[in-house]
Amino acid sequence: MIRVRAFGLNQAGAYLRSGAWGCRWAALSGWMICVDYSEAVTAFFTTREDGTPVPEAVASGSPARQLRDACEPVAMHPVWSPAVNAHLAGLGLDFLAGYVGGRGSVLGDPAGAVVAAAFAWFEPGLVTGLWDAARPIVPPAQLATAREEATAASLRDVLAGEDVAGVADLLADAAEPADGAGRPLFSGLRARGRPEDPMLRLWWACSLAREHRGDSHVAAAATAGLGPVEMNILTELWVGMPQLSYTATRGWPAGVMDQAVSSLERRGWIRYGGLTEDGRLARQEIEYRTDQQEQAIVTALGRNLDEVCDRLNAWGQLCIEAGAFPPDILKRAAG
């Protein structure tokens, strides 16, 4: 699990001023979250024991889920690529500030609370603190460009010799016209425009599909009356992770997570650290409502869907082999 150090406010300020690597103050939670890239890799680049079952969400996923999972390693390349992280570190951004600042940069330069609302599943004070820390170091517009350039360069190394233009165009043509209503991260990314460089266009198209589905998933969870902590818990149990093992990496305090567990137990959705049948059906319904919102993209791909997914899965494996995406199938399915 990602290391979390608790400090009082005065201690936190002193620690930040000391230049400690990877530390940011989460004002609402009262935590200092300290993570550098190597710690994140240690936490997430794990492999499951032989015989670990493939999550139902993957094994019997809908076409929309299959596309989402195929896009994930390429879309998240700037988050996990050693080369991209090294480039952002050279600009003064650690792993978490690079993630929040970089992914949020497509929103322009809003208040941190707006970024936190778009990210949804993370403790809002953590996201706000990271955003406010990143902005003065690298302005969002400059960061968005730097991140894209570093991502394209890294993908050219990882996917050297691969012809990605055709798949990039197919996916971009399908995802770019999708409905942007209520989808801030998708809309902000789309507004940056289709890149001319084929490798960057591949990343952009995968990210469009990923962010569109992510925004749709937030809407589906909210419609079901679930807050972010409850939704995190349902998802981690649904894909086979231990209770709170994934939720805790989103910066939520123990008391908040315990309250969410109690709420789900009162609903009859979890018991003894696992989903009940009602809980499984409830999570499945949220998945269905999410997938329904992605049908336009799936339909636009039509008979090309299988080819696109097959190519993306092959390139995703190359990303994993290059150490640019976590190998754990459960981590990949947690969304």
Q: What is the pLDDT at residue 25?
A: 45
Structural domain containing residue 231: 56-333
Residue 24 lies in a domain: no
Residue 2 lies in a domain: no
* 3-state secondary structure at position 325: coil
Q: What is the pLDDT at residue 175?
A: 98
Burial code (b: 16+ CB inside 10 Å, e: under 16) for 113-142 equals ebbbebbbbbbbbbbbbbbbbbbebbebee
Question: Is residue 67 within a helix (H) or strand (E), and if so which, with residue range?
Answer: helix 63-75
What DSSP line would sit under 240-282, residue for residue?
A: TPPTTTTGGGGT--HHHHHHHHHHHHHHTSEETTEE-HHHHHH
Q: Tell me the C-alpha distance between 230 and 203, whole Å.
A: 30
Give 25's strand partners: 32
Q: What is the pLDDT at residue 196?
A: 98
Give 34's strand partners: 23
Q: Tell me the C-alpha distance between 332 and 335, whole Å.
A: 8
Q: What is the pLDDT at residue 214?
A: 97
Q: What pTM was computed for the model?
A: 0.90
| Of the candidates 80, 87, 98, 90, the residue with the CA atom closest to the CA atom of residue 38 | 80
Residue 82 lies in a domain: yes
Q: What is the pLDDT at residue 34?
A: 52
Q: The sheet that has 31-34: what strands, in order across it?
A: 4-5, 31-34, 23-26
Q: What is the pLDDT at residue 63?
A: 96
Residue 36 lies in a domain: no
Burial of 224: CB neighbours in 10 Å, binned 0-12, 13-18, 19+: middle
Q: Where are the beta strands (DSSP E) in 114-165?
A: none
Residue 300 lies in a domain: yes
Residue 17 lies in a domain: no
User: How confident is the chain (335 residues) per 10-residue block, as mean pLDDT?
Assistant: 34 32 44 71 83 77 95 98 97 95 98 98 95 96 98 98 98 98 98 98 98 97 96 95 93 96 98 97 96 98 98 97 92 81
Residue 249 lies in a domain: yes
Q: How many domains does the chain have?
A: 1
Q: Tell me the C-alpha distance between 211 and 21, whole Å.
A: 29
Joined together, the tokens standing for residue 54 give 């493939």
Q: What is the pLDDT at residue 254?
A: 95
Residue 49 lies in a domain: no
Q: What is the pLDDT at residue 192?
A: 98
Q: Tell me the C-alpha distance between 319 and 78, whole Å.
A: 11
